[in-house]
Structure formats: C-alpha cells, structure tokens
Structure 1
C-alpha cells in the first residue's frame, strides 16, 4: 500500500512538472514578439575585462583593468517576427587601471553604446533565446593619473569594435519579461601620457546583464 501511494506521488510530481514545463514552453500568440514591437529593458550590467589588458612603455608595464557594474537600459525594435535591432546604453562605467609593479596608476570612465542585430529563435515561445552581432563605440573620459603617474596627463582614445551577444527573454505575461544576456565586446584604446602614445589598453570585456523588460 505504502509503495503504491509513493508510486502515485512520484507520478503526480512528474505530471505536475510536465505541466509546468509545457506551460513555460507554451506558445500563446498574445505573448509573441511581433514585427513593429518595441521592447525596453532596464537592469544592471557588469563589465568584466579579460585577463591582461595590454601594455605600455614598450611592453615593460602590463595593464590590468578592474570590473565595474552600472545600471543599463536597452531598446529593441522588432523589424520582423525573428529579427530585432537593439541599442544598449548605460550609466558611465568607472575602472581603476593598474600597472604591473606600479599599483594603481589611474582611473577612467567610459560609455559603451552598442547597436546589435538580433535573431530570435522562438519568438512565439514564453522562453525566447536569441543571438546578436553588432558594432560598439566606446568613449573614454574623466581619465586621471594617480600613484606612480600622479600629476601627469593620462588619456585613453575612443574605440570602435565588434560585439557578439547571447541572451534569453522569459515572458511573465503579455507585456512583461525577465531578461539575461552576455556580450563580448572588442574594446581597444591607445594610451597617451602627456600627449604621447605609450601603448595600448585592450579591455575586451565580457558584459553580463540582468534586466526586466516591457513590450509595447
């Protein structure tokens, strides 16, 4: 009797899980992304530069750029049922710059607006994965020297580069959704000290974003 009840309990649990899974993957037309939709998402993005961020002074000083997280927003226009065009914007990110053997030698702020063309694989599903490729422009400002370079004029040139993206939207209802994505952005900047080029900073970050979205 006990084993029979346990067996029925397991069957009920499996059945409930199957219903939940089917519901998540259901395809209610009211929740589909459609051509002409606009989707705005607000959340937080973490910029995590790759390990080893270039060098200066003829390669004698390696650079290391730290992580930083800031509020971010994206605006997507669905050109077709599957194709979206997305613009990423954020509050300025701030990074400390360390030089090998020198400690912190400066800091900078940057804005990385990125325009991407996306492909949405399952636009009718409640779980909607997508990939994107696009163009990034990063402008650096408020760059300041410190530590061993204190009192000198340190600057970073603006950067153009490609960006790749993988993400997913999870629809909560007809309008609202949760979203997460990861991008790789090619950011490479010439480093100048007192007006002279002294090397290159290769930031090349992974950018992780979690957001809440609204479709209208």
Structure 2
C-alpha cells in the first residue's frame, strides 16, 4: 500500500488536534524542566513504514509492510536543565506482510529506543524538544499464510532514530505531548531457512501522549 507524505501530515495533524483544544488560560505560565526531573508519558503510537520496502527473491517480488497503532509510553530523565535521556517502550506492534500484493502473513515486534534529547526551555507552558539515539527492534511471532509452504523469519534490527516533539503543560505537573520519529529498521527475511533478501521498513512514527512531571 502507498503511504504518502500527505497522509503522514494528516496523521500528525490529527495527533496534534487534542492539544489545540486546551484553553489558553489552562496552560501553565512557566513549566520549564530542570535537572533531576522525570517526565513520564503514555498514549498511542502509529507506525507508518515507508511505501517501498524492498524486493525479495532476487528482486522478483516486491514486499510491503503494513502500518500499526498500539499503546506506548516513554520516560525521560533530565540530566541537566536541557539534556534528557529517554527510553521508548510499547506493547508489541503487529504488521501485515504482503509479497507482490499477496498476503504472506504478519509479524510482531518490540522497538525499545534510547535517545538523547535537547529540551528548549521557553519560560512558557510550551516545551519543544529534539532527540537522536539508537533503536533495537525485536521481531517475533511471525505468522505465515497459506500462500507460503514454509515458515517466514525476520531478523532483529539495530538502527539510528531521530525525533521531534512538543509538550503542552496543563499545570505544573501534567502535560499533553505530540511527537514524531524516524527509525532506521532493516531486517533480513528467511523462508524455511533460505535467505530471501532484506526488508527496509524505515518507518515514521507519530505519537500522542498524556504526561506527568515528577
């Protein structure tokens, strides 16, 4: 399936919409973070793999990885007033797999990601941040459809991750959050033990969270 830039922009706009509904007077006058703060967020993340995921079987068949939305969370520890270390966690995401348009099964994965963030303290209740780090994607529970006569297997992946996000403070402790990430996820695919090729998932992820600072 094709996932256009327009669709991704609309998805992010939808995630940001709840934050726009917060009345201006409800935004804390100053909600800057400080060294020693913990920021705990929980919500939903939508993973949208890029539209061209590569070719298998010596380039004869194109592979497509479907999108997925699941509950997720992250926790950030502020090492200084601006630098934070974040760990992203989630319940397993499930992606449908197709080969040249035919359903070949599905896989689940866990994408723990560790990132170093820079938070822009603005003196207001709006706190943007950017980050970069490393992702480990663990694939498991591959389910093969009747189209294939053997089990499919996806190798785990290590790759870079970058992000941008924004926290909207509701009071001194509570806030809502919207974020977007790009993650480098490449996995080698095997069928019945025979290597078929590499799948380039490289998704954009979009998250909407409720957060608490303590």
Equivalent residue number for residue 169 of structure 2: 171
Greater CA drift, 138-147 or 83-92? 138-147
What residue ranges of structure 1 are gaps of 5+ in the alignment?
A: 1-19
Equivalent residue number for residue 75 of structure 1: 75
Measure the CA separation in 1 of the matches of 2:112 and 2:124.
29
- How far residue 125 of structure 1 moved from its aligned partner, in angstroms, is 2.5
Measure the CA separation in 2 of the matches of 1:192 and 1:176.
46
Larger radius of gyration: 1
Measure the CA separation in 1 of the matches of 2:26 and 2:95.
43
Equivalent residue number for residue 41 of structure 2: 41
Equivalent residue runs for 1:135-214 within 5 Å:
135-149=134-148, 151-214=149-212
TM-score if structure 1 supplies the norm length? 0.85
- How far residue 23 of structure 1 moved from its aligned partner, in angstroms, is 8.4
Measure the CA separation in 2 of the matches of 1:42 and 1:211.
5
CA contact (8 A) 1:127 1:171 kept: yes
Measure the CA separation in 1 of the matches of 2:24 and 2:119.
20
Equivalent residue number for residue 93 of structure 2: 93
Equivalent residue number for residue 116 of structure 1: 115
- Residue 103 of structure 2 aligns to a residue whose secondary structure is strand
Measure the CA separation in 2 of the matches of 1:180 and 1:99.
33
Measure the CA separation in 2 of the matches of 1:170 and 1:131.
15
- Residue 95 of structure 1 aligns to a residue whose secondary structure is strand
- How far residue 145 of structure 1 moved from its aligned partner, in angstroms, is 1.4
CA contact (8 A) 1:33 1:123 kept: no
CA contact (8 A) 2:96 2:105 kept: yes
CA contact (8 A) 1:162 1:186 kept: yes
- How far residue 183 of structure 1 moved from its aligned partner, in angstroms, is 0.1
Count of aligned residue pairs for this structure pair: 192
Equivalent residue number for residue 13 of structure 2: none
- How far residue 21 of structure 1 moved from its aligned partner, in angstroms, is 6.6
- How far residue 187 of structure 1 moved from its aligned partner, in angstroms, is 0.3
- Residue 127 of structure 2 aligns to a residue whose secondary structure is strand
CA contact (8 A) 2:27 2:170 kept: no
